[in-house]
Structure 1
Amino acid sequence: MNAVDRLPAGGTGRRPRADARRNVERLVTAAHAAVAEVGVDVTAHEIARRAGVGIGTFYRRLPSREALLEAVLAELLDEMASVARRAMDDPDPWRGFTDFATAYVQLRAASCGVNDALGGECGLALDPQLARMREYVRLLVAHAHGAGVLRPDVPWEDVAFVLASVTTSTRTVGLRAGADQWWRNLRIVLDGLHAAPGR
């Protein structure tokens, strides 16, 4: 379900007019970009500014800033759960695991808000999505362990933390990270997780 459809209907319960729906769609699009760049602390004023609407329109069309952020982040986390489901179906367990890990880390690298949400302390109602992500990580690790392609001494909880650590700050010891730093970090981490390193 997309973020627009996740938002509660207006107080009348009637189908919104076309222009009202367009405003909601613009607000959702702006919220996606703002959440990625700023994180969950982005203000309603900033989202409205990016959408090209007034703050009054924001609050006429949406129940709250939190409801909008929850809808946007739930959509992103549900998309990630879909990637995990496809990874479970891959006949090659290592390829499925690495495809999921790549998509997961790439999303974390691209969105400050997703990092906030996955940390679980952003104050938004995302518990069902976070529980689903935990379960998929657990299942993917169990699948890779069962196939003998993931180091048996690494529990699924460690995998969750290791994947979260791949996205780093933009600077360290006077160096600036390139746009693909997350990908280079991930390749090193995956090599360390593989039961046969250097594959």
Structure 2
Amino acid sequence: MSSGGPPRALRSDARRNREKVVAAALEIFTERGLDAPLEDIARRAGVSIGTLYNRFPSREALIDEILPDLIGAQIEAGREALAHPDPWEGFVLYVTRTCELQARSRAVTDALSMRFDRAEKLAEACAQGLSHVGAIIDRAREDGGLRPDFTPADLVYIIWSNARVVEATASVAPETWRRNLAFVLDGLRAEAAHPIAEPPMSPEQIDEAMRGLARR
């Protein structure tokens, strides 16, 4: 009967609001990281902050809705790295894919830092993504491509340093992190370094990036 109309309309409105909040959160978290104000997400979604909290009672609940799918790309990279016939190239593939994810989304960098331990789904996805790391590194070391003293803990340094390079150069030379990573990877080889395809930044780009960091 006609009395069934309003509840269905309300459920439809609630679903649309949820979808708008999720879309806005993905955009803002990608642009600005997981610490971005929830008020800004609500504003971009075109809803009130109360509506956002009705759908997602905490920041972690919103993070859990969005980030596991992004981390899924890292999980797949781990599988591909272990399946690669060349252990060194598998290692390079995994590290490069991880850095690419960081370059595409500040949210990924925040997620990999494990700062949001109350986001249970995210923590589970990150743990799964990192579960391949030891085996990827062991294969590359045992095959002789990766220096023998490199450990999974050392991979954290690459992730941290890449995050800073991406942050400093995103608006100036957004692909220059690849040059930095190429130097890092050559330094990890057990053989001589190879040529690097990515050109260096110009003096003007370096100056602009440095001034940008100083303003933050």
Distance 2:80 2:168 in 1: 34
Higher RCO structure, 1 or 2 (CA under 8 Å, sep 6+): 1
Distance 1:89 1:19 in 2: 46
Distance 1:27 1:144 in 2: 43
Listed as ranges, the matches of 1:1-199 within 5 Å are 17-125=11-119, 126-169=122-165, 170-171=167-168, 178-199=173-194
Moved more, 117-126 or 42-51: 117-126
Q: Kindly tell me: are residues 64 and 95 of structure 1, through their superposed partners in 2, closer, same or farther at Cα, counting changes over 3 Å? A: same
Secondary structure in 2 matching 1:101: helix
Distance 1:165 1:171 in 2: 11
Secondary structure in 2 matching 1:159: helix
The Cα of 1:19 is off from its aligned counterpart by 4.5
The Cα of 1:58 is off from its aligned counterpart by 1.8
Distance 1:70 1:51 in 2: 18
Distance 2:54 2:48 in 1: 10
Distance 2:85 2:11 in 1: 47
Distance 2:33 2:12 in 1: 29
Distance 2:143 2:13 in 1: 53
Distance 2:161 2:191 in 1: 22
Distance 1:87 1:141 in 2: 10
1:40-98 CA deviation, whole Å, 9 max, x = no partner?
Answer: 22222211222222323323333333201122222222221122112211222222221
Q: Kindly tell me: are residues 181 and 146 of structure 1, through their superposed partners in 2, closer, same or farther at Cα, counting changes over 3 Å? A: same
Q: Kindly tell me: are residues 166 and 43 of structure 1, through their superposed partners in 2, closer, same or farther at Cα, counting changes over 3 Å? A: closer
**Equivalent residue letter for 1:135:** S
More helix by share: 2
Secondary structure in 1 matching 2:164: coil
* Aligned pairs, number: 181
Q: Kindly tell me: are residues 177 and 189 of structure 1, through their superposed partners in 2, closer, same or farther at Cα, counting changes over 3 Å? A: farther
Instruction: Give TM-score scaled by structure 2 length.
Output: 0.72
**Equivalent residue letter for 1:182:** W
The Cα of 1:166 is off from its aligned counterpart by 2.4
Structure 1: gaps of 5 or more residues: 1-15
**Equivalent residue letter for 2:52:** F
Percent of pairs with identical residues = 40
Distance 1:50 1:136 in 2: 37
Secondary structure in 1 matching 2:82: helix
CA contact (8 A) 1:30 1:47 kept: yes
Structure 2: gaps of 5 or more residues: 1-9, 195-216
Of structures 1 and 2, the larger Rg is shown by 2
Distance 1:37 1:69 in 2: 14
